Structure formats: C-alpha cells, structure tokens
Amino acid sequence: MTLWNGSYPFYPGANACFPFDTTRAVIVTIFLSVLVTFIIILPGIRGRGRLLWFLRLVLGLFVGAVVLTVQFTRDWETGWVQANTSYKSFSPVQVNADIGLHIGLAGVNITLRGNPVNQINETINYNEHFPWNLGADYDRSYSEGLEKGLPSPILYVAEKFSTQSPCAVHRQYRIAGHYVSLTLWLAFCTWLISVLLFSMSILLYGGHMLLLTATLILFSLLFFSTARNTVKCPIQIGSVSLRTDYGESFWLTLATGLLCLLLGLGIIILNSVQPEKLKLIFSLDKSCKEEVWDKSCLPVEPSCSVQDVLMVPLGELCQVTATQL
C-alpha cells in the first residue's frame, strides 16, 4: 500500500502537450504577413504581368518559408506504436498508450498518449524534448527526466539516444543535425541573394543562385540520410517494436529542393535558348506591353498646309493683280 491513494509522491503531474509549435507559428505568420502585404498592392499591377508577378511571389515566399521552418521542426524522422506497457518504475500496473518518437535536427521528442487519456486516476499525455544541439547536454536532460520521474516508456526510448547507450547513435544524429542545419542556413542565404538578383533583373545569375540553393538543400538531405541509415538498436515496447521512417519535414524539404532545381535549370535554359520569353515571364519585355494613348483626348495639331503657309516668307508670296471689270 502506498501513500496518497496509490500515487507515488516522487512523480509529478503530467506535462500536457502544447497545441502547436510556437517557432513554426511565428515564421509562418511573418511570411503570410509579407504575402498579404503584396496581395494588397497587387491590383496596382496592370496587364497579364499581374498573374506572373503573383506566381513568382508565391514560389519565392514558399521556398524561403520552408528552408527556414524545417530547421526548427521535430519531425524529420517519426514513428508511432501502440502497446501495453508499464507506466511507472517499480509498479506492475500497465496502461495502453501510443508512444511516438520524433527526431529533429536539434533533438528528439518522445510522446506518450494514453488510450484513453485518463487511466489509473491520471492524465497520460506527455511530450518531452531532449536536445542535442550546440550548447545543450543530452545526458543532463535525460538525468533530469530521471529525477522528475517521467513515465518508463519515455525514459526507455530516451535512453537509446544517450551517449552511454550501447546503440551508439547519439553521435551520428547530433553531427548530422549540425551539418544539416548549417547547410540549410547557407541555402537560406543563397535564396535571399537570388531574390535580390531577380528584383534587379539579373536573371541569369539569379538562376545560378537558385540552382545553388537547390544543391545545398539536397546535400542537407544527404547528410541526414547518412545518420538515419546507421544500424540502430531495436526499440522494443511490450510485444511490439517502435520503427521510424522519414517524416513530413524531410519530404517537404525534398520537394522544395527539387522545385528550386527545376526553376533554376528552367531559367538558365530559357536565358540561353529563348531570352525573350524569359523577359516576358519577369515582365521585362515592355515593347509589346505599352498602352496605346487615346488620341481623341489629345489637342488637335494644326495641319501641315497651315504650317507651310505660316512659314512662307512674305517676300515670296505671289503678287495678286486686281482687274477692274
């Protein structure tokens, strides 16, 4: 028999999951604000160039938002499993819960959600983050989790990624996360340069910078894949095994890299084959876009005959002789 009606006193209450990622929300809000601002001035653009200008704007903001956002997401690699497992150490009580593993560039998130959420007189809804980015100590975070008395499934999964674990995956994921983050920051800088070059109508070099952005993004995916393909220890929870696969951030980054690659190659090819069409896409060919003025609203110019008469010298006028009838 235990104190406090069977609740262990050294276990705190459940840490409820925050409904959304605040960093991602801030980045998305900033880019959406920029998009709304340009949509407001969109009616001021005349002709068919309005649609092309809006398309370039959406594509540019999409690439920048994705490259910046995926650095702070925690779903580069994800996995879920439902199992009957022990909830607390030194207790035979088992609960039915969903255990989720979410690996990002800066650490790992472990989720524990009960089925149902309220079991054994407790709310089972945890989402714990264990960082390994620069300046963070993963082992210390794991030790703090032990001191707080986190549920056993969370501690078991977190122990697999510690430096003392025989799985030896902590170093690979940590180094890969650092290189991926650095490469994506470089890609964000090259994206900014490409936007600046396109705004200055330097299309060829803008295409080259967009191609460099695609190369950096694809290299970042290669760095992360090398860490994921390392041999990992099986994460056995009860009678089932927790397996992970590439998450939404990985596939979104891949799609963005391929988009930049296609756009960069398309701009370079069009510049060498049909530069007129490329200028038309960027609204630079204004020879056929000039508006025709309504001449009926202009003041009437005097005819050439009147001007000629007025400019004839007086000495050259024909002498008129009047004959009396």
Asked if residue 291 belongs to a domain, the reply is no
Residues in the chain: 325
d(C-alpha 291, C-alpha 169), whole Å: 65
Give the CB-side neighbour count of residue 37, counting CA atoms within 13 A. Answer: 7
Mean predicted confidence (pLDDT) in 42-49 = 70
159-179 average pLDDT score: 88
What pLDDT sits at residue 248? 92
Residue 183: inside a domain: yes
Residue located via tokens 């704007």: 57
Which one is predicted more confidently, 276 or 292?
276
**At which of 121, 142, 167 does a domain end?**
167
Query: Is 259 inside a domain boundary?
Result: yes
**Does residue 208 lie in a domain region?**
yes
Phi, psi angles (nearest 5°) of residue 150: -65, 155
Q: Which of 64-68, 294-298, 307-311: highest mean pLDDT?
A: 64-68
In a domain, 207, yes or no: yes
Best CA proximity match to 66, nearest among 319, 252, 324, 306 = 252
State the CB neighbour count (10 A cutoff) for residue 127: 18
Write down which residue in 167, 199, 219 finishes a domain.
167
Same domain, 182 and 277: yes
Considering only residues 260 and 3, tell me which one the structure prediction assigns the higher pLDDT: 260
Domain match, 87 and 143 both: yes
Which range (26-35, 112-121, 235-244, 305-314) has the least confidence?
A: 305-314
Pair 130, 194 in one domain: no
Q: Are residues 64 and 193 in the same domain?
A: yes
Between the alpha carbon of residue 242 and those of residues 153, 233, 239, the distances in Å are 11, 10, 10
- 271 part of a folded domain: yes
Do 192 and 57 have their domain in common?
A: yes
Mean pLDDT, range 241-256, rounded to an integer = 92
Model pLDDT, residue 307: 42
- Taking only Cα atoms into account, the Rg of the chain, rounded to an integer number of angstroms, comes to 34
Question: Is 96 inside a domain boundary?
Answer: yes
Residue type, 127: N
Closest to 161 in 3D by CA, of 147, 180, 142, 175: 142
Q: What are phi and psi of 135, to 5 degrees?
A: 85, 0
Same domain, yes or no: 181 and 68:
yes
Share of the chain above pLDDT 70, in %: 78
Q: Is 251 helix (H, G, I), strand (E, B) or coil?
A: helix
Give the pTM.
0.78
Give pLDDT, residue 303.
45
Average pLDDT over the chain reads: 80
Residue 165: CB atoms within 10 Å: 15
pLDDT of residue 324: 53
Confidence of residue 287 (pLDDT cuts 50, 70, 90): very low
In a domain, 14, yes or no: no
Q: Please indicate, yes or no, whether residues 150 and 64 belong to a single structural domain of this protein.
A: no
Q: How does pLDDT run across 7-25, given as a tens digit for each residue?
A: 444 444 444 444 456 777 8
The number of folded domains in the chain is 2
**Burial of residue 229, with CB atoms counted within 10 A of its CB: 0-12 exposed, 13-18 middle, 19 or more buried:** exposed
Are both 156 and 81 inside the same structural domain? yes
Let me know whether 209 and 264 are in one domain. Answer: yes
Task: Region of 277 please: left (phi>0), alpha (psi -120 to 50) or beta.
Answer: alpha
CA-nearest of 224, 226, 216, 206 to 268 is 206
Strand order through the sheet with 107-119: 122-131, 107-119, 94-103, 77-86, 245-246
Residue 210 clears pLDDT 90, i.e. is over it: yes
Residues 122-133: tens digit of each pLDDT: 888 899 999 998
Whether 321 shows a pLDDT value over 70: the answer reads no
Claim to verify: residue 32 and residue 55 sit in the same structural domain:
yes
Alpha helix ranges (H) inside the chain: 3-6, 22-40, 49-69, 138-148, 152-159, 170-199, 203-228, 248-273, 275-281, 304-311
Instruction: Among 9-23, 185-199, 230-244, name the most confident range.
Output: 185-199
- 195 lies in the same domain as 276: yes
Q: Which domain holds residue 260?
A: 22-72+177-230+251-281
Residue that the structure tokens 């200028």 belong to: 279
CA–CA gap between residue 77 and residue 62 (Å, rounded): 22
Q: Does one domain contain both 65 and 200?
A: yes
- Span 232-248, average pLDDT: 86
pLDDT above 90 covers what percent of the chain? 37
Closest Cα partner for 278 from 293, 290, 267? 267
Domain limit, last residue, from 167, 198, 218: 167
Average confidence (pLDDT) over 20-49:
78
